[in-house]
Structure 1
Amino acid sequence: MTTATLPARSDLGRPIILLMAVACGVIVANLYYAQTLIDVIGPQIGMSASVAGLITTLTQLGYGLGLFLIVPVADLFENRRIVLGSILVTVIGCLAIAASQGPTSFLVASILTGVGATGAQVLVPLASHLAAPEKQGRVVGTVMSGLLFGIMLARPVANFLAGSFGWRSTFLVSAAAMALIGIALLLACPQRRPRGGMRYGEALASTFAQLRQHRVVRMRAFYQSLMFAAFNLFWTAAPLALIRQFHLGHAGVGAFALAGAGGALVAPVAGWLADRRLTRPTSLAGLAGLSVGFLLADWTVAAGSLIGFTIMAVLIDAAVQLSQITGQKLIFSIDPDARGRINAAYMTVMFVVGALGSVIGSATYEAGGWSASAIAGAAIGGVATLGFLLFDRGASAPR
């Protein structure tokens, strides 16, 4: 059994925190590059339109597998080594995508890239381990803001690179950026050796046992899976509304996404509030704010206000971040030795349930336009808020 090897917690300076935030964003962006380029990639690699949707599906499937198979080992092995290994896998996946000449090789590389992208979910609990307890929320919030920026910026960056240099350039640039990030982490990121004491199979078996053992993990996974579903619903239906109702092109949709990414700026604020033991009011503000954002977004689109719609995009993203950062502050406070497994269980539930949001977004928009999608998003937020008010019973109290 090994002991933890950590720097003095006060030594985790702002440059390292920002490096972790950038690393999370660059890593997780790989899940979304191909999503916006399906109509370009499919014909060039001989993939029919009916099968092209697998590009996104299999990348996300690889990410889901990685959440379960890789993230829990953060409780067993030196964390920086796991992150660097995942970055190497992602670099190989991106290069393989760029070199793909047919559907099979592209889809296999997409799965590999998705698996490697889970390194971001090892970095987040690592940042919480390295942070001083009184700053843990702010550190996690800053790192998570980088992750959200990566999600939001991936699509416009992919569109720009593909339009200027061809779609393969997106993955070549990503591979180069990942390599640079890996080198920076190797040189600057502190090591952390967990206590260990169990085999890999035992760690996997105990991952979802964390849901059974800790009520706070169950409740926070419930809230955030609904919030993530609403987030995916919004960013599936909103581009359709922008194109069909505001008559924007892809460049306009990209600019809207850039503006919406401003919601990520609330993440450090959410962490600051959590550090001051304001977890319950912050959680309620996030959950209720989601419903309010969707209802106002419905009104702004009906009024033809693009500026108002953009502001609501920021509000909805901010609401999701308030809930996410507060939840991670709470679950990371339960058991430091099980933080990787707890995060794996939490993120897997959130990811699996949240992925349904894209389906709901498409279905509701086709059935009733943006208004139907907005009502569905508000209803999801309402269910989460009602669950919090009726059943939280102290699960979100400060720890």
Structure 2
Amino acid sequence: MPAAPQPHPPERHPHYSRATLWLLATIAGVSVANIYFNQPLLDDFRASFPGSAWLIGAVPASTQLGYALGMLVLAPLGDRFDRRLLILLQLAALGASLVVAAAAPTLAVLIAASLAIGIVSTIAQQAVPFAAELAPASERGHAVGTVMSGLLLGILLARTVSGFVAQYFGWRAVFGASVFATVALAVVVIARLPKSRPTATLPYGKLLVSLWHLAAESAALREASLTGGALFAAFSIFWSVLTLLLAGEPFHMGPQAAGLFGIVGAAGALAAPLAGKSADKRGPRAVISLCIGLVAVSFVVFALSARSIPGLVVGVIVLDIGVQAAQISNQSRIYALKPEARSRVNTVYMVAYFIGGSVGSALASLAWHAMGWTGVCLAGLAATALAGFSHWRGRARAQTRSRA
């Protein structure tokens, strides 16, 4: 009897390897950290520019605005051009912007440089779709999770690193050190990162218009975007007011203590590759359902821990694992929707994601002033409930289509 035919192994990109994934993770982490370096430096900015102290808040605000703008106008280019070339060009622009920030003679120059830093730091939004392109379908969740772990570590540890460098060397040294890191990264990219394969030939204007069409045509993309945005809103609600909680009774801790919680939150980043593997094996929807439950549990823990550091630590670990694992699973889903438009699909998703974060920060301030820590926890639960509603409504729609 002839032997049964063996299944063909999944097609692998010739440059897909663990080393390439970790290089993409490093690119994502180093680039995105530049968005958060300035947050612990506001008092230093105030001391350097006393005549413009009332405008200090515009520095982090312009960086966040720049990042949103960069996602909208730069991230879609990954479908049209070689991502390796785009990463190198953005690294060059990032290095130049950091030099201007480090030498800024006035606050206005620092604000303008911060806007530029935000725009070109969207390199991470080329790295994550690049990983999805390189990986075979059966390993896509793991690949995305690996690169996202680097991005999340960059987000969570940026404040800690920035505060440490500024304390001993001054705030300008923070931007100077990032210049050297950016140049070193560009050298490694030239030597080790493969080229990507463009999948679109649309002119730039039509690329941007296609973002609207992708969102309008895909219910799954809209659902993932709303779910992810609501979970990031919950995440931002907590982190936006943690410093205020720690400054009051009974803790009396400074902002550096809140920065150290970022190290605790790194557990979520380290769990990202595991979340990607679970999404590959069990399906992303199952993982997202579990994650929404974890985020809800974290806010219950926070509500019971208004006077307990150990309780806050446990809540941070649960919150970060839930939010980051859900992010990996959501991105694993959307990258499978339109392989030829991964950068644009990612743009739609990430713009919604950061809008959710901005709304969460605003809600946190209102809740804190209206009801204190209890109000913050209720706002976090409300955002989590919205994520649950979006996710389970989408799951019910998918089950209905399957039965039909």
Same fold (TM > 0.5) = yes
Q: Post-superposition shift, 1:149?
A: 0.8
Deviation of residue 247 (structure 1)? 2.0
The 1:311/1:218 distance shift into structure 2, 3 A limit, reads same
The answer to whether residue 157 in structure 2 is matched with residue 153 in structure 1 is: yes
Cα distance in structure 1, aligned partners of 2:51 and 2:37: 17
* Structure 1 residue 347 corresponds to structure 2 residue 342: no
Partner AA of 2:272 in structure 1 = A
**In the aligned structure 2, how far is the partner of 1:396 from the partner of 1:294?**
30
For the pair 1:288 / 2:302, whether they are aligned, the reply is no
The correspondence of residues 1-399 of structure 1 with structure 2, limited to 5 A, is 8-9=12-13, 11-46=15-50, 48-245=52-249, 246-301=251-306, 304-394=307-397
After TM superposition, give the deviation of residue 237 of structure 1 in Å. Answer: 1.3
Distance in 1 separating the partners of 2:43 and 2:360: 21
Give the deviation of 1:394 after TM superposition: 4.9
Flag the structure with larger Rg: 2
TM-aligned CA deviation for residue 188 of structure 1: 0.9
Contact 1:291 1:380 in 2 (8 A): no
Please list every run of 5 or more consecutive structure 2 residues that lacks an aligned counterpart in the other structure.
1-10
Q: Aligned AA for 1:195?
A: T
Q: Relative to structure 2, which stretch is displaced further, 324-333 or 350-359? A: 350-359
Deviation at 1:233? 1.2
Q: Deviations over 1:250-278 (max 9, x none)?
A: 33222222112211122111110111142
CA contact (8 A) 2:52 2:107 kept: no
Indicate conservation of the 8 Å contact 2:27/2:123, yes or no. no
1:396, 1:183 → 2: CA distance? Answer: 49
Worse-matched range after superposition: 280-289 or 216-225:
280-289
Q: Bigger CA drift: 337-346 or 357-366?
A: 357-366
Q: Give the C-alpha shift of residue 353 in structure 1.
A: 2.7
Distance across 2 between alignment mates of 1:36 and 1:362: 18
Q: Whole-Å Cα distance in 1 between the matches of residues 121 and 84 of structure 2?
A: 14
Query: In the alignment, is the contact (CA less than 8 A) between 1:42 and 1:48 conserved in 2?
Result: yes
Give, in whole Å, the separation in 2 of the partners of 1:10 and 1:292.
43
What amino acid does structure 1 have at the position aligned with 2:347?
A
SS at 1:177 equivalent: helix
CA RMSD, 1 decimal: 1.9
Normalising by structure 1, we get a TM-score of: 0.93
Provide the rounded CA distance (Å) in 2 between the counterparts of 1:221 and 1:241.
30
The number of residues matched between the two structures is 390
Counterpart-to-counterpart distance in 2, 1:242 and 1:339: 41
For 1:364, give the aligned amino acid.
A
